[in-house]
Structure 1
Amino acid sequence: MGDDHSTARPLRADARRNRERVLQIAQEALASDGLTISFDEIARRAGFGVGTVYRHFPTKEALFEAVLLGRIERFVADARALATAEDPGRAFFGWFAWVVEQVSANQALCDMLESGSAMAFRPGSTLEDDFAGALGRLLDRAQRAGAVRRDLVVDDVQDLLRGCLAAERRARARGGAVRMADVICDGMRAEPH
């Protein structure tokens, strides 16, 4: 019986490592190739048979959701970490520009936004509310500090974020040097008194 226990642990650890490897490869593939990447190609890049991928993720959508929602959870965590930053304006604008940079360089996140599914949140998930709440705290603090226009609400900033992402991708595609996030951030800044 001791042998059964000693062999079971490595299998669980192997399975965990395999799942992490699939997620890592899927994240890289989705960033470069977008939502059109196949299970077979992800398995090939990870060095696994497609059955290994299916064991961890029963559908392509389940795998993509795990990767993409993980990225959005990171945006939420970073916004929450910045909620007590010493300079609320710098925290707000820095986070906004960082999200634009991360998403515009990630083909799959861009595909999600362009498909009209906004952030493609799972029904019943609190992630959409978490995202809006974390953004709202950054916005409120930056407005109270006089760094951001008072007439903006969270929905406005989310719309500006989506528009900025589309503009940033078009600028990159044509080789433009103008950073759209900087332009949008300038438009959100409070007028100096």
Structure 2
Amino acid sequence: MRADARKNRDQLLAVAGVVVAEQGADASLRDIARRADVALPTLYRHFPTREALLDALLRESFDGLAQRAVALEASDPPEDALVTWLRDCVAVAREYRGVTELMAAAIEDTGSALHASCVAMRAAGTRLLARAQAEGAARADLDGTELFALVAALAWLGDQGAFAPRADHLFAVVADAVLTGGTDRGAGAERR
């Protein structure tokens, strides 16, 4: 890729991150191009669809979550690794308002530009869940798809004005429900 094309692509991604965080996943592509100081056709040359732009924006974060799962697996007890990873996933999903609906749809749609990233993220969580289950630290009746659904649900709660103040407390409640052997293991979140 030419240097000027790379610069435009990087600028579009940087601006898209800000605009999507402000306006949500349905943010105006025209606004993104305008703020990035490029023509709309330039945006479409790099990202032919909104989904392609969101995939490029989210892929780095999702790949980072997969790598984070590997690091947590190697360094933390199974229940701590799982809760820490869940918290990180919810934070990434909440960073860009409205992306949880796209994630939920993309996991089943093999034609989606977001599909591979979502599948990799779900696989990372599934490994952490299976490890915690093997140690008796997590409920045996959950699978990776349900864990992915819990991430989406918790991220959605944070996007809702009425529920956002309770999101950390609700995260702790859900984390405690996923884990076996006692309560408040998902704590660390301030109760409100």
TM interval, shorter chain, is 0.7 to 0.9
Greater relative contact order structure (CA < 8 Å, 6+ sep): 1
CA-CA distance at 1:106 after TM superposition: 1.7
Q: Judging changes above 3 Å, is the alpha-carbon distance between structure 1 residues 47 and 126 closer, same or farther for their aligned structure 2 residues?
A: closer
Which residue number in structure 2 is paired with residue 138 of structure 1? 128
Q: Judging changes above 3 Å, is the alpha-carbon distance between structure 1 residues 168 and 61 closer, same or farther for their aligned structure 2 residues?
A: closer
CA-CA distance at 1:189 after TM superposition: 1.4
1:150 aligns with 2:154: no
Are the counterparts in 2 of residues 34 and 106 from structure 1 also a CA contact under 8 Å? yes
Are the counterparts in 2 of residues 88 and 141 from structure 1 also a CA contact under 8 Å? yes
CA-CA distance at 1:186 after TM superposition: 0.9
CA-CA distance at 1:79 after TM superposition: 1.9
Structure whose CA Rg is larger? 1
Match of 2:111 among 123, 143, 153: 123
Which residue number in structure 2 is paired with residue 3 of structure 1? none
Which residue number in structure 2 is paired with residue 95 of structure 1? 85
1:32 aligns with 2:26: no
Which residue number in structure 1 is paired with residue 65 of structure 2? 75
TM-score by length of 2: 0.77
Structure 1 segments of 4+ aligned residues over 4 angstroms from their partners: 118-122
Q: Name the Cα RMSD after superposition.
A: 2.7
Identity of aligned residues (%): 30
Distance 2:55 2:108 in 1: 8
Distance 1:175 1:130 in 2: 27
TM-score by length of 1: 0.77
Provide, for residues 62-111 of structure 1, a one-character-per-residue CA deviation record: whole Å limited to 9, x for no partner. 22332234433332232233222232211110110121122123214134
SS of residue paired to 1:83: helix
Which residue number in structure 2 is paired with residue 176 of structure 1? 165
Structure 2's unaligned 5+ residue stretches are: 183-192
Number of residue pairs aligned between Structure 1 and Structure 2: 179
1:37-56 equivalences under 5 Å are: 37-56=27-46
